[in-house]
Structure 1
Amino acid sequence: MVVASQSSWVVTWEKLPDDFILNDEPVDNINQPAIAAALTESLELAGLLPAQSLVMTNYGLCATVNGKTVVKAPDWGYVPEIRVPRSEVTRSYTPQLQGDFPAIVMEFLSDTEGGEYSNKPTYPPGKWFFYEQVLQVAHYIIFEPEGGALEVYRLSESGHYKLSSANEQQRFWVDDIGLALGVWQGTRENRTGYWLRWWNDLGEMLPWGKEQVEQERQRAERLAAQLRAAGIEPED
């Protein structure tokens, strides 16, 4: 057990009790799992998820505040490295005790009030307070899928979140993952609307699987055309 003390609360990093009942209610919006899965897929295809990293979707992040267990389940989150067998974090994850603190947490707004901006310090603490003051997550990202609004907050040296500014392409650089995050509008899995996408430092958007297959098909067709122009008939 590791203890962190603040002026008005004491945080201990303990494993989630076996008898603790997690919230098994369905997610607020059918779009949330699709957006989260799309974020993860492009990272996996690009080889940007190290073996000991942890990506979470509606998965319990735990801490004990003033002796009471607190669990929040962000819509998407990223931990750079866990330091225990993966079998020990199948149900929940406790930072410090089991590995790094989360570098990124995301919340996708829905019609249901979820308290994404709640700075309430009393039990149960609000999400903003928990991510900023308890877990001290470097990047807190709030996305509104219906309208495409994206807010990226970064933990400042003062220990409080500061709203980041987008670049000329309306993307936000996320140091901890070495990519830019932005909003893209299009269709995937029968859902047409706004999505979160990753871009590398060259400004190239990381593709999803279907897009990658199409890119490879187009490259093969261009190569075949070049060979034919040179008088060489490409093999099937």
Structure 2
Amino acid sequence: MATQLSEAKSSNQLVITWEALPDDFQLKDEPVENTGQPILAGALRESLELSGFIQPQMLIASNFGLCATINGQLVVKAPDWVYVPSVKEVRENRKSYTPILEGDIPAIAIEFLSDTEGGEYSVKRTYPPGKWFFYEQILQIPIYVIFEPDGGLLEYYQLENGRYELKQPDENGRHWVDSMGLFLGTWQGTKEARTGYWLRWWDQAGNLLPWAVEQIEQERQRAEQERQRAEQERQQKERLMAYLKSQGIDPENLPPLE
């Protein structure tokens, strides 16, 4: 039997409860409309993981079911990327997540626009409700991002007074995500044979959080710079030794410095 919390809230005659899914409940597999979406979602997580941002109590997932029960009817929506700051129980192979019952409300949900209209803007409130309505009015996710990868358009909505308000980026074209302590913005380049626009993270100082391939290249460049520095020091020492010898001074017999 599903476990139901005693708390329920109503909004415009909607009764919302947070119930566990039955053990035998089968989540519908939503087909990915664009093969680039998993790459985009994976890239968002990769840089967070490499930077040490991700902690065990966090939940970061893509195409992952967020659940709520509205007027007794279960609703499941799967954002392309979602971040939950803290869950009550850390579990592997989690198939879905019910806010309040299992932990925090998601702090941010991201949808990647595909070639076909996927309902990211749908405010339909009748069953099954649209994604926009579900994120805004039911889950009340503080930040909702809609990203169009082909053209690089980033729409950043913040929940204010119960409604999503479109926010403008800063002078660098980025948005500060206070709950994460990071900036979110767009970047253009190539990763995994995909060239185009990407969503990227920057730290508070404005440093781009690197992907693995970028981190490896940074380490290679640092090693090369260190090699060059050592080589310059060696050459400088050789020139000094040659000069001393040209002046009739034996470098091996120089008195020690006091």
TM-score, scaled relative to structure 1: 0.94
SS in 2 for 1:118: coil
Of 118-127 and 37-46, the range deviating more from structure 2? 118-127
Residues 56 and 90, structure 2, Cα contact 8 Å, conserved in 1: no
Q: Separation in 2 of the partners of 1:103 and 1:230? A: 52
Shift >4 Å, 4+ stretches: none
Q: Deviations over 1:3-32 (max 9, x none)?
A: 222232011001122333322142000010
SS in 2 for 1:211: helix
Q: Separation in 2 of the partners of 1:28 and 1:175? A: 31
Q: Separation in 2 of the partners of 1:21 and 1:113? A: 25
1:42 maps to 47
Aligned partner letter, 2:72: G
2:173 maps to 170
Q: Separation in 1 of the partners of 2:173 and 2:13? A: 38
> Does residue 1:135 correspond to 2:135, yes or no?
no
Deviation for aligned residue 1:98: 0.5
Identify the match of residue 66 of structure 1 among 71, 91, 94: 71
SS in 1 for 2:106: coil
SS in 1 for 2:41: helix
2:240 maps to none
Identify the match of residue 181 of structure 1 among 179, 184, 187: 184
Residues 86 and 104, structure 2, Cα contact 8 Å, conserved in 1: yes
Find the structure with the greater CA-based Rg.
2
Q: Separation in 2 of the partners of 1:122 and 1:56? A: 27
SS in 1 for 2:190: strand
Q: Deviations over 1:92-139 (max 9, x none)?
A: 000000010000000000112211111111110110110011111010
Among all aligned residue pairs of Structure 1 and Structure 2, give the percentage whose two residues are the same amino acid: 59
Distance of aligned partners of 1:22 and 1:112 in 2 relative to their CA distance in 1, 3 Å threshold: farther
Aligned length: 230
TM-score, scaled relative to structure 2: 0.86
1:108 maps to 112
2:222 maps to 219
Root-mean-square deviation (Å) = 1.3
Q: State the structure with bigger RCO (CA 8 A, min sep 6), 1 or 2.
A: 1
Aligned partner letter, 2:177: V
1:52 maps to 57
